[in-house]
């Protein structure tokens, strides 16, 4: 998003300041343990454990999710939504490492301080955290974590709609551009990218008469894509699909356009958050589906924009911050519904809310079991920001 890349370091400072204001509440020392036991009602402070990437390859998404969560906490606390009860969020950096995420989860649940966990971004991290939460019987609400194996029981929830499930919208988009031949490049370590590249896109031939003519795997550390791009372009695709993490998108687009290929390029939401900024004019036109668009007129989306700007006036919200915001509000609604901060009660409230759905930053949220579903939007990078396509 516009301004996000330039303000990343400032966001960390802002986040620390906001957290200091949020976590100190009357009658509760920051390190105290005061999550309510079952049936005791809501305590003065309810603690949430955030395990998100603040460093590492997906820090761009983790920091944004934290900002969205902080905006929600400030809104909830300032409005008195939970009466005298204040929410507190303790931050832990998973550093894009599954083992680190698992260790932090084990330590957090053992402390018995938390009503719920706000889970990691990467699918590998979330698959490591999920069984720990299930065994401890503490609810964990994941964002992103698009792959299978994340929701494994009644204590695991996802406040992000897995994009492979709604990626067919891009088949319609490409068909509208008369695309019949598609080249693909994807990060082979990200499960949702592998699923999209190897399972979703091959079905485009039957559904949309779009054939995958070349498919190349890369590692997340790859910076020179020229050999893979050359192989893809040699197969004469009409369009290219690319699924990478972070700023790899900028490097890829520069190298792709240097070959003279000028066709459409589709991506995943990893292209968001300003990750195409470094591509300059070569990044213009990259298109992807998303669960969130700031341009949406929906009242709940506009409410989120107002809350986010109140906390971070110099930053633009994105999909990751919208998911972080919705995850916290899901927990807050569960707390209000049950009137009890015990993890088992929070789980019950989360499940009941999933059954009925509610309005959030991403619009009207509906669920299949504990898993979010949305109506996707399509956005495109115009060189400085994401703009709606439809």
Q: Which of 290, 310, 339 is the last residue of a domain?
A: 290
Shared domain for 72 and 142, answered yes or no, is yes
Shared domain for 272 and 326, answered yes or no, is no
Q: Which of 290, 308, 325 is the last residue of a domain?
A: 290
Shared domain for 335 and 220, answered yes or no, is no
* Position 383 in a domain: no
Shared domain for 126 and 189, answered yes or no, is no
| Distance (Å, whole) CA 348 – CA 366 | 17
| Distance (Å, whole) CA 64 – CA 15 | 10
DSSP state of 173: H
Q: Which of 254, 270, 290 is the last residue of a domain?
A: 290
The domain containing residue 208 runs over which residues?
164-290
Shared domain for 132 and 192, answered yes or no, is no
Answer for the pair 361, 322: CB distance below 8 angstroms, yes or no.
yes
Shared domain for 154 and 302, answered yes or no, is yes
Answer for the pair 241, 270: CB distance below 8 angstroms, yes or no.
no
Shared domain for 139 and 22, answered yes or no, is yes
Helices 248-258/226-234 angle, 10° precision: 50
Shared domain for 53 and 123, answered yes or no, is yes
Shared domain for 89 and 169, answered yes or no, is no
pTM of the model: 0.82
* Position 25 in a domain: yes
| Distance (Å, whole) CA 352 – CA 357 | 9
* Position 323 in a domain: yes
Give the CATH number of the domain where residue 70 resides. 3.40.50.2300
Please report how many Cα atoms fall inside a 13 Å half-sphere around the Cα of residue 221, on the Cβ side. 0
* Position 382 in a domain: no
Shared domain for 155 and 68, answered yes or no, is yes
pLDDT tens string, the chain, 390 residues long: the values are: 333 333 333 333 333 333 333 332 323 333 334 454 444 579 999 999 999 999 998 898 999 999 999 999 999 999 999 999 999 999 999 999 999 999 999 999 999 999 999 999 999 999 999 999 999 999 999 999 988 899 999 999 999 999 899 999 999 999 999 999 999 999 999 889 999 999 999 999 999 999 999 999 999 889 999 999 999 999 999 999 999 988 899 999 999 999 999 999 999 988 988 899 999 999 999 999 999 988 888 999 999 999 999 999 999 999 999 999 999 999 999 999 999 999 999 999 999 999 999 999 999 999 999 999 988 999 999 999 888 886
Shared domain for 104 and 180, answered yes or no, is no
* Position 3 in a domain: no
């Amino acid at each position: 998003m516009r301004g996000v890349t330039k303000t990343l370091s400032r966001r960390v400072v802002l986040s620390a300041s906001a957290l200091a204001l949020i976590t100190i509440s009357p009658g509760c020392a920051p390190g105290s343990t005061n999550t309510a036991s079952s049936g005791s009602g809501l305590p003065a402070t309810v603690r949430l454990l955030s395990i998100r990437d603040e460093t590492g390859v997906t820090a761009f998404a983790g920091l944004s999710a934290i900002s969205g969560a902080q905006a929600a906490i400030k809104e909830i606390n300032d409005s008195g939504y939970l009466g005298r009860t204040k929410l507190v969020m303790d931050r832990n950096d998973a550093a894009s490492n599954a083992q680190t995420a698992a260790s932090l989860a084990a330590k957090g649940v053992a402390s018995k301080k938390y009503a719920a966990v706000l889970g990691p971004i990467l699918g590998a991290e979330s698959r490591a955290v999920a069984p720990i939460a299930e065994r401890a019987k503490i609810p964990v609400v994941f964002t992103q974590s698009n792959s299978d194996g994340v929701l494994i029981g009644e204590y695991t929830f996802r406040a992000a709609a897995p994009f492979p499930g709604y990626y067919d919208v891009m088949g319609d988009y490409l068909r509208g551009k008369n695309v019949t031949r598609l080249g693909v490049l994807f990060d082979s370590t990200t499960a949702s990218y592998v699923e999209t590249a190897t399972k979703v896109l091959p079905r485009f031939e039957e559904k949309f008469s779009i054939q995958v003519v070349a498919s190349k795997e890369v590692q997340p550390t790859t910076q020179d894509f020229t050999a893979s791009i050359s192989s893809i372009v040699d197969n004469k695709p009409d369009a290219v699909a690319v699924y990478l993490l972070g700023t790899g998108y900028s490097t890829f687009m520069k190298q792709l356009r240097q070959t003279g290929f000028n066709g459409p390029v589709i991506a995943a939401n990893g292209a968001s958050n300003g990750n195409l900024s470094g591509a300059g004019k070569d990044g213009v036109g990259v298109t992807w589906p998303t669960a969130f668009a700031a341009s949406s007129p929906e009242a709940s989306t506009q409410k989120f924009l107002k809350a986010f700007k109140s906390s971070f006036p110099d930053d633009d919200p994105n999909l990751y911050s919208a998911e972080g915001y919705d995850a916290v509000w899901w927990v807050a609604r569960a707390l209000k519904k049950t009137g009890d901060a015990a993890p088992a009660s929070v789980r019950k409230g989360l499940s009941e809310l999933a059954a009925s759905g509610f309005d959030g930053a991403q619009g009207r949220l509906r669920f299949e079991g504990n898993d979010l579903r949305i109506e996707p939007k399509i956005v495109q990078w115009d060189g400085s920001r994401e703009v709606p396509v439809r």
